[in-house]
Amino acid sequence: MTPSAEFSNVAEELEWRGALFDATPGAAHALATEKVTCYNGFDPSASSLHVGNLVPIMGLVRLQRHGHTPIALVGGGTGMIGDPSFRAEERQLMSIEQIDENVEAIRLQLEPFLDFQAKSNPARMVNNADWLRKTNLLEFLRDIGKHFTVNTMMGRESVKGRFSRDSGISFTEFSYQLLQAYDFLTLYERHNCAFQAGGSDQWGNILGGVDLIRRIHGAGPDGRPRAHGIAYPLITSSSGEKFGKSTGGAPTLDPKQTSPYRLYQYFLNVADADAVPYVKLFTLLNQVQIGGLDAAVKTEPEKREAQRKLAEEVTRTVHGQGGLDQALRVTRAFFGGDIAGLSADEMEDVLDGSSVTEIRRDQLSGDGMKFSELAVSAGAGKSGGDVRRTVQQGGMYLNGVRVEDADRAVVAGDLIEGRLLVIRRGRKSYSLVKLAD
Partner RNA sequence: GCAGGGGUUGGGGAGUGGUUAAACCCAGCAGACUGUAAAUCUGCCGCUCAACGGCUUCGCAGGUUCGAAUCCUGCCCCCUGCACCA
395 phi and psi angles, rounded to 5 deg:
-110, 15
Q: Which stretch binds RNA (CB under 7 A): 18-26, 177-185, 205-213, 375-383?
A: 375-383
CB of 115 to RNA, least distance (A): 32
Q: Does 271 bind RNA (CB under 7 A)?
A: yes
CB of 376 to RNA, least distance (A): 7
Given the complex with RNA, which of 126 and 333 has the nearer CB atom? 333
Q: Does 92 bind RNA (CB under 7 A)?
A: no
Question: Binder to RNA among 304, 309, 329, 434 (CB under 7 A)?
Answer: 304
CB of 407 to RNA, least distance (A): 5
Given the complex with RNA, which of 15 and 272 has the nearer CB atom? 272
Q: Does 355 bind RNA (CB under 7 A)?
A: no
Q: Which stretch binds RNA (CB under 7 A): 112-120, 205-213, 299-307, 412-420?
A: 299-307
Question: Binder to RNA among 141, 155, 298, 335 (CB under 7 A)?
Answer: 335
Q: Does 236 bind RNA (CB under 7 A)?
A: no
Residues numbered 380 to 399 that lie near RNA (CB under 7 A) are 382-386, 388-390, 393-395
CB of 308 to RNA, least distance (A): 8
Q: Which stretch binds RNA (CB under 7 A): 68-76, 93-101, 154-162, 423-431?
A: 423-431
Residues that bind RNA (CB under 7 A): 164-167, 239, 247, 265, 268-269, 271-272, 301-302, 304, 307, 331, 335, 372, 376, 382-386, 388-390, 393-395, 407, 425-429
